[in-house]
Amino acid sequence: MRTPLIAANWKMYKTTAEAAQYGKQLLEELAARQVAVSAAERGEPGQVAVVVCPPFTALGALGGVLAGSPVALGAQNMHWEAAGAYTGEIAATMLLDVGCRYVILGHSERRQMGETDEQVQRKVQAAAAAGLIPIVCVGERIEERRAGETEAVVTRQVRAAFTGLGAEAAARAVIAYEPVWAIGTGEYASPEEANRVIGLIRDTLGRQLGAEVADAVRILYGGSVKPDNVGPFVAQPEIDGALVGGASLDAKAFAEIIKQAEVNAA
Ligand code: 13P
């Protein structure tokens, strides 16, 4: 059984003070809704797992507030090397050092700035080797969708990201299917269409790493997820949660998304 995961990607928003305030409020809002948050990746039936990924500068402040709670901390990127002369970069061990359990890798906003499949592959391997759980983002651009290339694009991205990963590490990994045209636009894939593409992603994983891995990997939907549309997504059999951008910046809205996921999860 896959425990649903609801992940917040703050992108480049919030100061340390705002992050600490948010963390406090999120825990209050979850308690008020009596949400059963799992502290582990694989929880009890009925539980949901939750991770918040702030900018690097707010990891310490948010981590301090979330420490001892079941809500996990994650980062939005990392470098594949363990240490070295890489100005401006952050290593996996540094993320572990500030309490991260997850790291988002290969987000389309980074791919648009030049991050390649090969770089994502190196990052996924380094993250897994260090004991971080990668949240690997894949998804097609609008022109690729129009050209009928959705399947080819996501298959290529998934294959590259999981190449060189052992079965155990691969089974712990998370994939987020985020159609690029649905990010920050208010437009979103229909739950049925997202379920179809996520099913294809699972098939790809099955061919690459075997049925057991494909069955274990949590695959999320991302792109304009809100409290009032998350339910039908997580009710789909292949969709194991959501990666939330804009709506995750408000602690109350994010807590409501988590509650709706808990109630509607398949
Ligand atoms: P929005 O939820 O703002 O569309 O962003 C999605 C996203 O990019 C999460 O990684």
Class of residue 186 by CB neighbours under 10 A (exposed 0-12, middle 13-18, buried 19+): exposed
Instruction: Specify the residue with its C-alpha closest to ligand 1, atom 9.
Output: 245
What average pLDDT is seen over the chain? 97
| CB-based contact 47:34 (threshold 8 Å) | no
Ligand 1 atom nearest the C-alpha of 104 is: 10
**Per-residue model confidence (pLDDT) at position 126:** 98
51: CA distance to ligand 1 center in Å?
Answer: 14
Q: Binning pLDDT at 50, 70 and 90, where does residue 138 land?
A: very high
**Per-residue model confidence (pLDDT) at position 187:** 87
81 is catalytic: no
In degrees, rounded to 5, the angle at the alpha carbon of residue 239 between the alpha carbons of residues 257 and 52 is 45
The DSSP annotation for 57-79 comes to: GGHHHHHHHHTTSS-EEEES---
CATH number for 124: 3.20.20.70
Please check the confidence at residue 197 and state whether its pLDDT lies above 90.
yes
Ligand 1 atom nearest the C-alpha of 248 is: 2
The pTM of this model reads 0.98
**Per-residue model confidence (pLDDT) at position 69:** 98
Q: Binning pLDDT at 50, 70 and 90, where does residue 253 land?
A: very high
**Per-residue model confidence (pLDDT) at position 1:** 82
* Amino acid of residue 21: Q
**Per-residue model confidence (pLDDT) at position 131:** 98
Domain that holds residue 193: 5-264
H/E stretch holding 219 reads: strand 218-222
Share of the chain above pLDDT 70, in %: 100
CA dihedral 111, 115, 121, 125 (to 10 degrees): -110
212 is catalytic: no
What is residue 172's three-state secondary structure?
helix
The DSSP code for 36 is -
Predicted confidence (pLDDT) per residue in 153-185, tens digit: 999 999 999 999 999 999 999 999 999 999 999
4 Cβ inside 6 Å of ligand 1: no
Q: How many domains does the chain fold into?
A: 1
